[in-house]
Structure 1
Amino acid sequence: MYLKNPLSVSELGTLWITYQEKTMILRILEFFIEKSDDQEAKNIMGMMWQELDYYVELITEIFVKEGAVIPRGFTKEDVNLNAPRLFDNGFDIMFLRILKEMSMGMYTLNMNMAYRVDVMTIYEGLTTITLKCYKLATIYLLKKGILSLPPHITMPTTTEFIESKKYMSGLNPFTEKRPLNAIEVGFLHHGIETNNIGMQLITGFAQCAKNKEVRKYFEKGKDLAKKHIKVFQDLLLDNDIQFSATSGSTVTTSTIAPFSDRLMMFCIDLLNGFSIVGNSFGTFFTLRNDLSFKTTLLAKDIFFYGQEGLEIMFKHGWYEEPPQSEDRNQLINRNE
């Protein structure tokens, strides 16, 4: 019965963005698989490629059955498999892990807007393979010594309750700040980890982007990632907690682009959105007001940086337009 229902606007929208994201990831995986010399890493990425390609085909079938145009997404024209390796030292699996972390949140939102069984089944399947890939990637990176573990604190031995609003204080420089709690330390560690990967990614993109405006945009993003890392590291150090960054340099000296400028810009746009959501999530669960204030300011920087990126994509015709609702005023006034 549910399969006979026409595709709703929310389902059309989520399938459209899923198609864009998945075709982008397929192109990135194709390059990483081609350049990898580690069989275990190739197996993880190859498994992910096969699974994602299957679901892209399912989404394509739905578009065809519904009479909707198939999005362009990202094709073989957006990847250059002959380009030299751009990243080293397990960056391929590090970045895949971040992409799957981003996908987890997207699938939850998409499932919440799905009403047809076939659409829900797609997001259910994508969630399953994403969780599997994320686990395999994490185990691989830890085994290789590439991924650093979060800090440790003394285990609690009693249950305590907050009894004063002083627990939230931190903005007043003349007031003593309480130590960071486990949730706050975890958020700061995660922020450093993701921005470190983002900084390496966008450094590589900046080296090889063909368009001068795009290169400058990526350079600005690299500086923004550095700023975030410094803010988070300083907060940890002020609490006598040392962060151990991922090992090794991961960006080669290649200046030959493995991906189109359009694909790289779209990738950074997705990561910008992920960063804003991640900062908002951390701010909500942070109970010290100086942390909330600083993460809010960082989210503002990401928002305006993202807007600048969209303007560049619009200018060059790189952003595929999502399905639009009917313009009733245009239809009514067509003969005037």
Structure 2
Amino acid sequence: MVLTNPLSASEVGSLWLTYEEKTLIMRVLEYFIEKSEEQQARNLIGGLWQELNFYIQQMEILFEEQGMAKPAGFTKNDVNLEAPKLYDNGFDIMFLRILKEVSMGMYTVNMNMAYNDRVMTIYEGLTTITQKIYKLSTLYLLEKGILALPPKVTMPKKVDFIKNKSYMKGFKPFGDKRVLNTLEVGTLHHAIESNNVGLQLITGFAQCAEHKDVKQYFVKGMKLAKKQIKVFEDLLLESNIHFSATSGSTVTTSTVAPFSDKLMMHCIYLLNGFSLVGNTFGTFFTLRNDINTKSALMASEIFLYGQEAIEIKIKHGWFEEPPQMEDRAGIIKKS
């Protein structure tokens, strides 16, 4: 059979990555549905499961039609629904919101690499779902008093322009630095918020990881998240801006793993990539050089931490290889 509209290499790659991410999210959602004690949260998570399941099936149909091997992804073997609650106090929806942030960024890139109408339709649908769930999650968390709002600011009454390059200087041995602008405050607030959720997530992972090197890796991640939170909070405090912390601890004392080490490692691997991209995007709009320098140093540490994750995943046979292009040199050599 000759395909009238075969997938391009970029579409194969993006669908492969999307399928892996979606099957991971499905396993996480199944655990959260099982452990949720709040009906509104369970409805939100269950509704997302149903909608994502439809698009997973659409991708599987496309894989079969194209003669493409279905990615292994994550299966029922990667989740333990009998495990006790590892997180509490609305963490399920808080983490769901972070996952939707990751998805929004990924779908933008995926759509830019799509030329097949059916692939574009898949990403259009997933984007609509993601934006809806992100909004509902945010409203839910605000209603429950779990999500902290960014700092308030006095509304500007006139338009100003930057007069000279000193606006960019953050390293001043004498005198005060200029106060942060609203773009910089937004970037720092988001970085602290994301790292707070990441810290709670990886703390739970560290408590229940099976392999020693995986547990050590998660403990290292806890230290990195705490370091980033302190750096960004100190920058806010220098301008007399206080970050409002979320309410209470959300990690229980359970040491029974709800997820496989393979799934937990891949989850942190994805969040590392999201953190790098978000850090770079935020730094571009930051006009104080001390913030840029500190962000760049943090990005370097995140990158090295992500590389360590790849090594651990490969060591344990958990890193599924992305589809490869034809090895023309090898084919010619064998012919």
If the length of structure 2 is used for normalisation, what is the TM-score? Answer: 0.98
Q: What are the residue-to-residue correspondences of 1:72-221 with 2, within 5 Å?
A: 72-174=72-174, 176-221=176-221
Kindly state the Cα deviation for residue 286 of structure 1 after the two structures are TM-superposed: 0.1
CA RMSD of aligned residues (A): 0.9
SS at match of 1:4: coil
Deviation (angstroms), 1:328: 1.4
Unaligned runs of 5+ in 2: none
CA distance in 1, matches of 2:131, 2:175: 43
Residue 30 in structure 1 maps to residue 41 in structure 2: no
1:189-268 equivalence runs, <5 A: 189-268=189-268
Counterpart-to-counterpart distance in 2, 1:205 and 1:68:
34
Listed one character per residue, the Cα deviations across residues 136-164 of structure 1 (whole Å, up to 9, x for unaligned) are 10010000000000001111000011110
SS in 1 for 2:282: helix
SS of 2:305's equivalent? helix
Distance 1:4 1:271 in 2: 37
Q: Please say if residues 33 and 45 of structure 1, whose CA atoms lie closer than 8 Å, have aligned partners that are also in contact.
A: yes
Runs of 4+ in 1 over 6 A off after TM superposition: none
Output the amino acid matched with 2:41. Answer: A
Which residue does the alignment assign to 2:280?
280
Deviation at 1:259, TM superposition (A): 0.3
Letter of the structure 2 residue corresponding to residue 309 of structure 1: A
Q: 3-state SS of the aligned residue for 1:333?
A: helix
Return the alpha-carbon distance in structure 2 between the equivalents of residues 266 and 226 of structure 1: 21
Separation of aligned partners in 2, 1:119 and 1:283: 32
Quick check: 1:316 aligned with 2:316?
A: yes
* Residue 174 (structure 1) shift: 2.7
CA distance in 1, matches of 2:257, 2:72: 21
CA contact (8 A) 1:148 1:245 kept: yes
Q: Which residue identity is paired with 1:273? A: G
- Partners of 1:171 and 1:315 in 2: how far apart? 43
CA distance in 2, matches of 1:330, 1:175: 64
The corresponding residue for 1:13 is 13
The one-letter code matched in structure 2 to 1:11 is: E
- Identical-pair percentage: 66
Cα deviation for residue 331 of structure 1 reads: 1.2
Q: Give aligned pairs, total.
A: 333
Q: Is contact 1:286-1:292 (8 Å) kept?
A: yes
- Residues 205-248 of structure 1, C-alpha deviation per residue, up to 9 Å, x if partnerless? 00000000000000000000000000000000000001011111
Tell me the alpha carbon deviations over residues 13-55 of structure 1, each in whole angstroms, 9 at most, x when there is no partner.
0000000000000000000000000000000000100011100
Do 1:170 and 1:176's aligned partners in 2 also have CA atoms closer than 8 Å? no
Q: Distance in 1 between matches of 2:149 and 2:296?
A: 26
Determine whether 1:71 maps to 2:71. Answer: yes
Corresponding residue SS for 2:334:
coil
Please give the per-residue CA displacement for 1:285-335, whole angstroms capped at 9, x wherever unaligned: 000000000001000000000000100000111011110001112112226
Q: Distance in 1 between matches of 2:262 and 2:288?
A: 40
Q: Tell me the distance in 2 between the aligned counterparts of 1:103 and 1:283.
A: 21
Q: Distance in 1 between matches of 2:134 and 2:17?
A: 21
Task: After TM superposition, give the deviation of residue 175 of structure 1 in Å.
Answer: 5.2
Amino acid at match of 1:299: A
CA distance in 1, matches of 2:220, 2:10: 34
Give the SS at the match of 1:303: helix
The whole-number CA distance in structure 2 between the counterparts of 1:148 and 1:271 is 21
**TM-score (norm: length of structure 1):** 0.98
User: C-alpha displacement at 1:265, in angstroms?
Assistant: 0.2
